[in-house]
């Protein structure tokens, strides 16, 4: 923090579990924010020790398989001390331009939340093109929670992954990107997306009987869950990401990323059909 520069009145909340590999670098970027909290899922490595060495508050979370999951649990039980909360993963890194953008955005009384954009890296290369990642990860405390999904007994994910916050009031966008660097390698990427695919397949099946849920979805969510089980959806994603969104300009990394994301959607589709066939037997 430079001399005369005030703290940004935001609580940065970092969900973590065994994240010693990238946590220090993430925390080094957060000196301008008034509060840092690491929500730790009982890590067995040095995650808590590293967090505390940077002055972060560490709270421990143990999921019982029911609502609430990690982010909502934090908002409901360990309230942020600041009027705004920014949820950040340990492999996401902010710079001074992003901090300036946040400082300017949160003084605008018209908005209660902001969509954030991300620059991804894959196989060691920066992805400049393809389908942009974005998350509604910055919002005014008390303006909403992550959507509640009844998933007792069918999910092993202790944190909200695909759930979006449901925010009262207007939502804007911050265009300065966050640098997202997945430092755990391809094997962890595949393992993680296997778990995500299982969750998305169950979520898709659940939505077939919960029509009211669709009202809360963004247009992007509606499109995905409307066509996720169609044979053409994985191919459509690849063509859209690689050609229409010019993923080919990212060379080999762009191809491989589009390919693996298509594999991910194909896996979801097969899981949906497998479950449906089993249920009909």
Contact at 8 Å (CB) between 83 and 141? yes
Q: Which residue has the higher pLDDT, 281 or 53?
A: 53
Topology of the domain comprising 8-181: Spore Coat Polysaccharide Biosynthesis Protein SpsA; Chain A (3.90.550)
Q: Which regions of the chain carry the CATH code 3.90.550.10?
A: 8-181
Report the chain's mean pLDDT, rounded to a whole number.
93
Contact at 8 Å (CB) between 243 and 203? no
181 pLDDT exceeds 50?
yes
Contact at 8 Å (CB) between 259 and 237? no
The predicted structure's pLDDT at residue 182: 85
Contact at 8 Å (CB) between 27 and 92? no
User: Which one, of 6, 54, 59, lies nearest residue 27 by Cα?
Assistant: 54
Digit-coded pLDDT (tens) for 47-68? 999 999 999 999 999 999 888 9
Contact at 8 Å (CB) between 269 and 234? yes
Distance CA 206, CA 172 (A): 30
The predicted structure's pLDDT at residue 279: 62
User: Which one, of 42, 56, 20, 50, lies nearest residue 184 by Cα?
Assistant: 20
241 pLDDT exceeds 80?
yes
Digit-coded pLDDT (tens) for 75-102? 999 989 999 999 999 999 999 999 999 9
């Amino acid at each position: 923090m430079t001399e005369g520069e005030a703290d940004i009145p935001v609580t940065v909340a970092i969900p973590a579990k065994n994240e010693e590999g990238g946590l220090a670098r993430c925390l080094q970027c957060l000196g301008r924010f008034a509060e840092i909290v690491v929500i730790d899922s009982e890590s067995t490595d040095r995650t808590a020790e590293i967090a505390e060495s940077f002055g972060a508050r560490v709270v421990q979370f143990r999921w019982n398989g029911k609502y609430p999951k990690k982010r909502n649990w934090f908002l409901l039980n360990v309230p942020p001390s600041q009027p705004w909360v920014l949820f950040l993963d340990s492999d996401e890194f902010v710079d001074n331009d992003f901090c300036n953008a946040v400082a300017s955005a949160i003084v605008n009384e018209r908005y209660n939340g902001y969509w954030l954009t991300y620059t991804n890296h894959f196989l060691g290369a920066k992805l400049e093109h393809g389908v942009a990642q974005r998350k509604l990860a910055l919002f005014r405390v008390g303006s909403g929670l992550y959507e509640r999904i009844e998933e007792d007994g069918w999910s092993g994910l202790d944190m909200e992954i695909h759930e979006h916050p449901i925010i009262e009031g207007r939502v804007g966008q911050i265009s300065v990107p966050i640098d997202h660097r997945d430092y755990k390698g391809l094997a962890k990427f595949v393992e993680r997306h296997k778990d995500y695919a299982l969750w998305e397949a169950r979520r898709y099946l659940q939505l077939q009987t919960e029509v009211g849920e669709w009202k809360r979805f963004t247009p992007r969510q509606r499109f995905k869950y409307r066509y996720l089980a169609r044979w053409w959806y994985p191919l459509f994603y690849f063509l859209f990401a690689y050609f229409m969104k010019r993923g080919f300009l990212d060379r080999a990394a762009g191809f491989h990323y589009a390919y693996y994301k298509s594999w991910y959607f194909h896996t979801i589709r097969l899981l949906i059909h497998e479950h449906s066939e089993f249920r009909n037997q």
